[in-house]
């Protein structure tokens, strides 16, 4: 055993260790700790663009109009909330001045299962914190349990350590591919992709909130027979059984009833809640055709798609 230890070349391991530490230091120049009530650190944030901080919305519960941060020098700074988007777990604050550099953003499209994912943040005292994970799974677009559209599934092989939600996630080259969050999966850490961050950030900067379409229904998937337009007689399919209606909501105003089964919206299949959201996307304020089953017979209705109410503050 002693001879084996003497023959072991640790040079590659030392090079890997030094490379990770250098990446943490590089990305760390653009990271801060976010503090809430009682001056306790709630999470991390990253300077995504000059003067713009991105963090995880869930660490606040209800995001305040202002917050404070801890930098590498342990100094605090007050932040003004630009807006939050709970479905993608993003909160965006405006950072006074441009004292901290923005991170170098990479491409989430290049992420592969098995690659290193380096989470970089700060403690409540201002020290760098880091965690090295392996990307467990990479897949296409998906929807969060709150209905947020993610451009890409990037799942880590473990959870996100306490205090690292909102941390930058860098690849082995030191480019940031997204933000770490523990709120979107019970078993794994999730990376909010850089493309999703950019898209949501643009909308929050423009309007203070992210517009999302809705019909104002509660629904659950059910099996139906020969229901979908164009399906052969007796063919099997599925739809969404309306279990509740928002009073004066778009669906109620369009004449939909509890017990109706929605099968198509705007000529798009609506056999699940994610499919319904996809069908509604981009149709806010527009009248769309809803194909449904009422009392066992096919029917149609015209519904003007509404927009989810929002309490987000504009910066």
CATH assignment of the domain containing 217: 2.30.42.10
- From CA 253, how far away is CA 256, in angstroms rounded? 8
pLDDT at 37: 53
Q: Indicate whether 27 belongs to any domain.
A: yes
- From CA 118, how far away is CA 252, in angstroms rounded? 48
Kindly indicate the confidence band of residue 3, based on its pLDDT and cuts at 50, 70 and 90: low
Q: Indicate whether 277 belongs to any domain.
A: yes
Residue 203's domain spans which residues? 1-208
Same domain, 151 and 220: no
Q: Which two tokens stand for residue 30?
A: 């653009």
Question: Scanning the structure block, which residue is given the tokens 């998937």?
Answer: 221
Same domain, 161 and 224: no
Answer yes or no: is pLDDT of 155 > 90: yes
Q: Indicate whether 14 belongs to any domain.
A: yes
- From CA 213, how far away is CA 1, in angstroms rounded? 65
Same domain, 137 and 4: yes
3-state DSSP helix/strand/coil % of the chain, to nearest 5: 20, 40, 40
Q: Indicate whether 233 belongs to any domain.
A: yes
- From CA 212, how far away is CA 266, in angstroms rounded? 16
Same domain, 217 and 184: no
Same domain, 184 and 38: yes
Answer yes or no: is pLDDT of 66 > 70: no
Count, residues in the chain: 315
Same domain, 126 and 218: no
- From CA 179, how far away is CA 189, in angstroms rounded? 10
Same domain, 78 and 147: yes
Q: Which of 99, 114, 117, 115 has the alpha carbon at shortest distance from 164?
A: 117
Q: Indicate whether 257 belongs to any domain.
A: yes
Q: Which two tokens stand for residue 132?
A: 């090295």
Domain C-terminal end among 158, 188, 208: 208
Answer yes or no: is pLDDT of 235 > 50: no
Q: Are 270 and 248 in contact (CB under 8 A)?
A: no
pLDDT at 233: 38
Q: Indicate whether 314 belongs to any domain.
A: no
Same domain, 104 and 220: no
Same domain, 18 and 114: yes
Answer yes or no: is pLDDT of 312 > 60: no
Same domain, 143 and 242: no
Residue 127 belongs to a domain with what CATH number?
A: 2.40.10.120
Q: Indicate whether 313 belongs to any domain.
A: no
Same domain, 222 and 197: no
Q: What is the DSSP letter of 14?
A: H
Q: Indicate whether 146 belongs to any domain.
A: yes
Q: Are 134 and 112 in contact (CB under 8 A)?
A: no
Answer yes or no: is pLDDT of 160 > 50: yes
Number of domains the chain is built from: 2
pLDDT at 197: 97
Same domain, 101 and 227: no
Domain C-terminal end among 188, 208, 228: 208
Model pTM?
0.78
Which of 17-31, 66-80, 88-102, 278-292 bottoms out in mean pLDDT, i.e. has the lowest?
Answer: 66-80
- From CA 155, how far away is CA 157, in angstroms rounded? 7
CA distances from 231 to 137, 227, 228, 242, 295 (A): 36, 7, 5, 21, 18
Question: Scanning the structure block, which residue is given the tokens 């606040």?
Answer: 60
Domain C-terminal end among 208, 240, 267: 208
Question: Scanning the structure block, which residue is given the tokens 């229904």?
Answer: 217
């Amino acid at each position: 055993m002693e001879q084996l230890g003497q023959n072991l070349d640790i040079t590659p391991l030392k090079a890997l260790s030094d490379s990770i530490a250098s990446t943490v230091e590089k990305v760390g120049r653009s990271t801060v700790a976010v503090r809430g009530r009682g001056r306790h650190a709630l999470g991390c944030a990253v300077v995504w663009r000059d003067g713009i901080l991105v963090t995880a919305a869930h660490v606040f519960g209800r995001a305040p109009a202002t917050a404070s941060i801890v930098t590498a020098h342990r100094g605090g700074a007050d932040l003004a909330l630009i807006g939050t988007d709970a479905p993608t777990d993003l909160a965006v604050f405006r950072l006074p001045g441009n004292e901290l550099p923005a991170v170098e953003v990479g491409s989430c499209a290049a992420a592969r299962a098995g690659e290193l994912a380096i989470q970089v943040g700060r403690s409540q005292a201002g020290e760098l914190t880091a965690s090295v994970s392996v990307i467990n799974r990479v897949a296409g677009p998906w929807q969060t349990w709150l209905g947020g559209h993610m451009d890409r599934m990037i799942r880590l092989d473990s959870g996100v350590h306490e205090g690292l939600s909102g941390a930058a996630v860098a690849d082995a080259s030191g480019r940031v591919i997204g933000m770490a969050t523990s709120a979107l999966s019970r078993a794994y850490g999730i990376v909010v992709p850089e493309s999703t961050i950019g898209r949501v950030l643009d909308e929050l900067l423009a309007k203070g909130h992210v517009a999302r379409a809705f019909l104002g229904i509660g629904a659950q998937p059910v099996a139906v027979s020969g229901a979908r337009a164009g399906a052969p007689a007796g063919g099997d399919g599925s739809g969404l059984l309306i279990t509740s209606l928002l009073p004066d909501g778009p669906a109620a105003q369009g004449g939909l009833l509890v017990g109706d089964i929605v099968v198509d919206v705007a000529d798009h299949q609506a056999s699940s809640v994610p499919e319904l959201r996809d069908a509604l996307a981009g149709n806010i304020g527009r009248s769309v055709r809803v194909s449904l089953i009422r009392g066992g017979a096919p029917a149609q209705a015209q519904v003007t798609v509404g927009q989810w109410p929002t309490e987000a503050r504009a910066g």
